[in-house]
Structure 1
C-alpha cells in the first residue's frame, strides 16, 4: 500500500471515527476525537433549511479578516459551518443578534439571513468555513450595506 493510499484511508477513518464519537488507542498514544459542532439549528437558534437539490459540491474556504476590519453585509445560500483558528470575531445580524467567537470556537452559520463579521481584536482572525452546496451555485451573496444600523459602518 503506497503512502498516499494509507493517508487517504487514514483520513477516511478519522471522518468515520468523528461521526461515531469513538476514541481509538494506537501505539503512539490515544487518538482523541472532539465534536466541535453538531446541531440542526444555526447559531441564531433557528432550524437549518433542507439541502438544495442537485449534484452536491463541498467548498472549503480559509478566510482572514484583518484586525479592526469587517466583512461586507452578506448572506449564505447554503448550509455552512466554520472553526475560528485564531483571533476574535463577532458575527452580527441586521436585527441586533450577535455571537462572539474566540480561537477554537465553531459556528454553524446562518442561511439566507443577512449578517456580517467584525474583528474587534488586535490580530487577524482566521476562520475555515465548510459549505455544503450544489455544483455551480454561489455559496455567498454580498448585499448592499444598510446605513441605519448603529453597529455597522457603511463600507
Structure 2
C-alpha cells in the first residue's frame, strides 16, 4: 500500500515537472535570425602564404585561450595545420622568422596564422589574451617548437 506521503511527493514531482515544461515553453517568444560579423575569412595566413590543404584523417577542432604576460615574446614555433587567432584583449605582434615580416593585431581583430612557417607572437604593454582555434587531427600537436626552443604553451 502506498502511503499518503509517497503519493504527495509523486504528485508534487509531477506537478513540478509539468510546471517546468510550461515555463520552458513560454520562455522564448520571438523567433528571429541572429546578426553575424565575419571576423575572418581567408585562404592564406597573415604572412601571405596560401593554405594548400587540410590535414587528413579524423577532424579535431581545438580552441584554447592563451594569455601572454606584458612585454613577452613566445618561443619560435610552427603549426602543422590552419588556425585562427582572435585577440580578446591587448595587442599581438606576429613575427615571421625567415621573411622578417611583422603584423600587429589589436583587440577585437582576428588573423589566420601561418602553417609550417617559423614564427612567434609578442605582447605589448598589457597582458594579451588570445582565443585560438585549430583545425587539426587527433594526436597531432597544435604547436611545434622550433629547434632549440621551449614549447609555446
Q: Are the aligned partners of 1:49 and 1:79 in contact in 2 as well (CA < 8 Å)? A: no
Unpaired segments of 5 or more residues in structure 1?
Answer: 7-25, 147-155
Q: Are the aligned partners of 1:81 and 1:106 in contact in 2 as well (CA < 8 Å)? A: yes
Structure 1: how far apart are the matches of 2:126 and 2:32?
Answer: 34
Which residue is 2:5 aligned to? Answer: none
2:65 is aligned, of 50, 62, 65, to 62
Corresponding pairs, count = 123
Once the two structures are TM-superposed, the CA of residue 28 in structure 1 deviates from its matched residue by 9.7
Q: Are the aligned partners of 1:48 and 1:111 in contact in 2 as well (CA < 8 Å)? A: yes
Which residue is 2:94 aligned to? Answer: 91
Q: Return structure 1 stretches of 4+ with deviation > 3 angstroms.
A: 26-31
Structure showing the higher helix proportion among its residues? 2
Kindly report which structure 2 residues correspond to 1:96-135, keeping only aligned pairs within 5 A, or say none.
Answer: 96-119=100-123, 121-135=124-138
Question: What is the alpha-carbon root mean square deviation over aligned residues?
Answer: 2.5
Which structure has the bigger radius of gyration? 2
2:40 is aligned, of 37, 40, 59, to 37
Which residue is 1:149 aligned to? Answer: none
Which residue is 2:77 aligned to? Answer: 74
Post-superposition CA distance 1:67-90 (Å, at most 9, x none): 011100000011100100000110
Structure showing the higher strand proportion among its residues? 1
TM-score normalised by L of structure 1: 0.72
TM-score normalised by L of structure 2: 0.73
Once the two structures are TM-superposed, the CA of residue 31 in structure 1 deviates from its matched residue by 3.4
Structure 2: how far apart are the matches of 1:63 and 1:109?
Answer: 14
Unpaired segments of 5 or more residues in structure 2?
Answer: 1-19
